[in-house]
Amino acid sequence: MIKSSFLNQEFAQIKKDFISFQWPKSPEKLYEPIEYILGIGGKRIRPVLVYASSALFGEHNQTTTNFGLAVEIFHNFTLMHDDIMDDAALRRGHKTVHEKYNVNTAILSGDMALIKAYQLLQTEDEATTSEALSIFNQMAEEVCKGQQLDIDFEASTTVSISDYIQMIEWKTSVLLGASMQLGALANKTSGRNQYHLYEFGKNIGIAFQIQDDMLDTFGNQARVGKRIGGDILQNKKTYLYLKALELLPENLAKELSSWFEGNSEDEDLKIKEVTKLYEEAMVKVYAVELMNEYKSLALSHLEAVKADNDAKKEDLKEFADFLIRREY
């Protein structure tokens, strides 16, 4: 959980709602792994966006809670399955689900988590349920497309920066957009407000992912909770890599791309040398600039929202700022 001076009410409410939420006790191996991954932390960014977005237009209600749970459980479904695909051993400083249990358990419990997220979209109001389903369905398909592109890019040598942005938009950002929109829907605001909040979330999400990629290479292992340099070992064509290729003189660009042609026997050496090349190209400066562009775009959408609670809008601005300054 993030410690912050804003949205405290939302974070407290989420904590309470996750404690109250009852998972069935049987079959144990189906539900327990979901409780495990939800229990090992996570920043709860997505439900906080749902709750804060909802608070722009009225009181917190059961639908807000359910949609908040839905997006966080969906997010954890993607982690359970992505961690298998990435062969990741650690998540938030703890064993990943397939490491703690096994691959089959992570597949099936992940499926159950996805289904549980869909169950939480069901409200007493049919129109709201139908709209929520529609938002969720589009987002969920895009998240799968993003994950597929992410995998495809590892073996590709022709990824462009705009391909990369498309990939992270789908893989990460649309869920933040959908979280904002679902929160807004929970208090039945206009389609126009929903649109701007979706765009706010989506663009903050892109900035957030660029920050995430920076933390993967330049972060502090203890704070980030996973091995630093994982993206480099997996030959991930992040913005850092693509921009460095563009900026470096030909001989160094060749050196960089040759590091990404296969797996290195000496993993630490690969991480060290690639990081050095990133530093040589000063890609961090460009990454921060790009993040700020997406942040500005996000804030202009937030500005366009006609909210009932303007103080909450300020909180969301601060939260957006926090998300791209975080160190974990």
Distance from C-alpha of 83 to C-alpha of 35, rounded to nearest angstrom: 16
Would you count residue 62 as binding a copy of itself (CB under 8 A)?
no
Stretch near a copy of itself under the rule CB under 8 A, chosen from 77-85, 172-180, 199-207, 258-266: 77-85
Of 116 and 196, which CB lies nearer to a copy of itself in the complex structure?
116
Of 82 and 315, which CB lies nearer to a copy of itself in the complex structure?
82
Instruction: From 113, 111, 81, select the one nearest 98 (Cα to Cα).
Output: 81
The 3-state DSSP class for residue 90 equals: strand
Of 16 and 29, which CB lies nearer to a copy of itself in the complex structure?
29
DSSP structure class, residue 249: -
Q: Which residue has the tokens 């957006």?
A: 320
Q: Which helix (H) or strand (E) holds 142?
A: helix 126-154
CA 29 to centroid of chain Cα atoms: 26
Of 124 and 250, which CB lies nearer to a copy of itself in the complex structure?
124
Output the CA torsion sign for 232, 238, 240, 246: positive
The interface with a copy of itself within residues 113-142 (CB under 8 A) comprises 114-116, 118-119, 121-122, 126-127, 129-130, 133-134, 136-137, 140-141
Q: Considering the complex, what minimum distance in angstroms separates the CB of residue 4 from a copy of itself? A: 32
Q: Considering the complex, what minimum distance in angstroms separates the CB of residue 129 from a copy of itself? A: 4
For the beta carbon of residue 224, count every other beta carbon within 10 angstroms. 20
Q: Considering the complex, what minimum distance in angstroms separates the CB of residue 33 from a copy of itself? A: 11
Q: Considering the complex, what minimum distance in angstroms separates the CB of residue 109 from a copy of itself? A: 8
Number of H helices, E strands in the chain: 17, 2
Binding string to a copy of itself for residues 147 to 176, with x set by CB under 8 A, is what?
xxx-xx------------------------
How many residues are given for the chain? 328
Bridge partners of 94, per DSSP, are 91
For the beta carbon of residue 327, count every other beta carbon within 10 angstroms. 11
Of 96 and 147, which CB lies nearer to a copy of itself in the complex structure?
147
What tokens does 280 get?
């040589």
Q: Considering the complex, what minimum distance in angstroms separates the CB of residue 248 from a copy of itself? A: 29
The interface with a copy of itself within residues 254-313 (CB under 8 A) comprises none
List of long-range contacts for 311-316, beta carbons under 8 Å, 24+ apart = 312/52, 312/55, 312/56, 313/56, 315/6, 315/7, 315/52, 316/7, 316/52, 316/53, 316/56, 316/200
Q: Considering the complex, what minimum distance in angstroms separates the CB of residue 173 from a copy of itself? A: 17
Candidates 8, 39, 62, 144; binder of a copy of itself (CB under 8 A) is 144
Of 56 and 73, which CB lies nearer to a copy of itself in the complex structure?
73
The interface with a copy of itself within residues 97-116 (CB under 8 A) comprises 103-104, 107-108, 110-112, 114-116
The 3-state DSSP class for residue 93 equals: coil
Distance from C-alpha of 91 to C-alpha of 86, rounded to nearest angstrom: 11
Distance from C-alpha of 322 to C-alpha of 83, rounded to nearest angstrom: 26
Stretch near a copy of itself under the rule CB under 8 A, chosen from 5-13, 24-32, 268-276, 295-303: 24-32
> Taking the CA of residue 48 as centre, how many other CA atoms within 13 Å lie in the half-sphere pointing to its CB?
23
Q: Considering the complex, what minimum distance in angstroms separates the CB of residue 216 from a copy of itself? A: 20
Of 151 and 253, which CB lies nearer to a copy of itself in the complex structure?
151
Q: Considering the complex, what minimum distance in angstroms separates the CB of residue 160 from a copy of itself? A: 15
Residues that bind a copy of itself (CB under 8 A): 27, 29-30, 81, 84-85, 103-104, 107-108, 110-112, 114-116, 118-119, 121-122, 126-127, 129-130, 133-134, 136-137, 140-141, 144-145, 147-149, 151-152
